Amino acid sequence: MDPSALPRLREWLERPEIASLDPRRIEALAAALAEPDPPVRVERWGTVVGYEAGPPRRRLVQFDRHGHLIAACRWSAEGALDWARCRAADGRWIGVEPGAIEHPAWGRSDRVWLLDGEDPWHPVEPLTVFRSLDWARLDHIPPLAEPRRLPPGAGSAVLNLVASLMKDQGVARVRYRGPFASEQLFTTLLECFRYDPGQALPLERFLADGGLDWLPAPYESHRVTAWATVQLRQDIDAALLYARTQPRFDGQRVALAGHSMGAFAVVSHAQQDPGVAAVVAISGGGALRGPFAPPNTLFIWAANDPAGLRKNARELAAKLAGLEQLVGDKTYGEVDHGTGVRMSEIPAVDHITILYSAEAARRIVEWLGETLGPGSGSPETPGPDPRFPFMGLGLAAALVLAFGLPQLLAPLAPRMGLAPVAHPFAPGGGRGR
């Protein structure tokens, strides 16, 4: 944990608007910060979450890295949720009131409110409802009535709160229970859940009857201004979210490729995201420390890469394949089951020129064709990038402008007679002596 997180959290908890959320529990949380194991978690992007001291650890407050309150929960003495609030994308506060109303389609329902954020709980306008949840023991994703009545990003914010509490409770998989299993809902769920990677046709399965397993994967939020709260993701997360929600892409056949530090990044990400289909680590590797094994992974490096880098890639490939040593350019494991591993060394290139190697490109495309199936790449060796000549022309033009243009224009500048200054850096420019 970041050692500066606890002092900052203590300062934030002392603010009157935070203490008023749940005075007794907030005071107990502040006192527990001095304990050896404080009830606090710090997320990757600096989000700080404070929990009720003592088992079970119920979520009380969530701050972004700058101390802005993002979400809060108040619990009853019996452990039931009294209310919860979270920020929508437009900065407004959205509240959830459990068991507030009966819905004609699914019975007992939780109401979603637009709140006045100045007070801990001040409902202003009822927005919609969703089937009641047992917030202390979450086990499904509920249906939401009239989602179009919600402000921008409000539905995602509420679902992200649900996913966050599921993660707190150790829930591994859930399903959506209800009607209206639409493509729009599927896309919204992808913001804070990941679908079962073992499902061949996730969208079709979801639209058929909602029978698709979802893994809680909440995002972090950051308040940029009073009217804007954004999702914090790794660049890879953002790219994958885009690819998986575009109809022209096949979200089931997504591969990650990275070079050097990028190779470390894609190998690391694939260990957290079971929906990735294949990985290409170019002149890099990393370590195997995540909950999932990187699927169908190609480790490819340059013959003139540093010796330590090549050794790390070989060892990582062997460890992933479960063997002591591997032979180059041979596939180990079962590609159809996502356990394929291959390592390959490209001769006569170094850490940089491997990026422009036609042979490296051919082997990478071959691997993608083998692991992702038909339509994933041509076996032909890619030719030179047609953009290179234009890039060279642009560079030459920039050099001409940078060095030639001043000399060309200099004779055209008006000649001005300036009085010489004996001491230019003295006060008054050297005058007055």
Q: Which helix (H) or strand (E) holds 227?
A: none
If asked whether residues 212 and 259 sit together in one domain, one would say: no
If asked whether residues 63 and 133 sit together in one domain, one would say: no
Is the Cβ–Cβ distance between 21 and 120 less than 8 Å? yes
If asked whether residues 89 and 213 sit together in one domain, one would say: yes
pLDDT: which is higher, 414 or 256? 256
If asked whether residues 268 and 309 sit together in one domain, one would say: yes
Instruction: Name the domain boundary from 200, 232, 264.
Output: 232
Confidence class for position 203, pLDDT limits 50, 70, 90 = confident
If asked whether residues 48 and 118 sit together in one domain, one would say: no
pLDDT of 11 higher than 90: yes
pLDDT of 292 higher than 60: yes
* Total number of domains constituting the chain: 3
If asked whether residues 59 and 107 sit together in one domain, one would say: no
pLDDT: which is higher, 375 or 160? 160
39 occurs within a structural domain? yes
159 occurs within a structural domain? yes
If asked whether residues 266 and 211 sit together in one domain, one would say: no
Instruction: Name the domain boundary from 347, 372, 397.
Output: 372
Is the Cβ–Cβ distance between 58 and 78 less than 8 Å? no
Q: What SS3 class is residue 255? A: strand
155 occurs within a structural domain? yes
Confidence class for position 418, pLDDT limits 50, 70, 90 = low
If asked whether residues 167 and 256 sit together in one domain, one would say: no
Distance CA 197, CA 176 (A): 16
403 occurs within a structural domain? no
262 occurs within a structural domain? yes
Is the Cβ–Cβ distance between 143 and 180 less than 8 Å? yes
If asked whether residues 157 and 94 sit together in one domain, one would say: yes
pLDDT: which is higher, 253 or 2? 253
Is the Cβ–Cβ distance between 312 and 324 less than 8 Å? no
pLDDT of 298 higher than 50: yes
Residues β-bridged to residue 247: none
What letter would DSSP give residue 293?
P
Mean pLDDT is lowest, of 271-280, 292-301, 322-331, 388-397, for: 388-397
What local confidence, expressed as pLDDT, does residue 359 receive? Answer: 94
Asked if the bond preceding 56 is cis, omega within 30° of 0, the reply is yes
Distance CA 122, CA 95 (A): 9
238 occurs within a structural domain? no
Q: What SS3 class is residue 113? A: strand
Q: How far is CA 52 from CA 38, 40, 66, in A?
A: 10, 9, 22
391 occurs within a structural domain? no
Q: What is the residue range of 228's domain?
A: 82-232
Mean pLDDT of 308-324: 93
How many angstroms separate the most distant Cα atoms in the chain? Answer: 94
pLDDT of 426 higher than 50: yes
314 occurs within a structural domain? yes
Mean pLDDT of 168-195: 89
Arithmetic mean of pLDDT over the chain? 87
If asked whether residues 130 and 186 sit together in one domain, one would say: yes
Distance CA 433, CA 426 (A): 10
pLDDT of 59 higher than 90: yes
Is the Cβ–Cβ distance between 286 and 264 less than 8 Å? yes
CATH number at residue 339: 3.40.50.1820
Distance CA 86, CA 244 (A): 26
If asked whether residues 215 and 321 sit together in one domain, one would say: no
If asked whether residues 101 and 219 sit together in one domain, one would say: yes
What local confidence, expressed as pLDDT, does residue 286 receive? Answer: 77
pLDDT: which is higher, 387 or 382? 387
Instruction: Name the domain boundary from 12, 33, 67.
Output: 67
Is the Cβ–Cβ distance between 346 and 366 less than 8 Å? no
Mean pLDDT of 334-357: 93
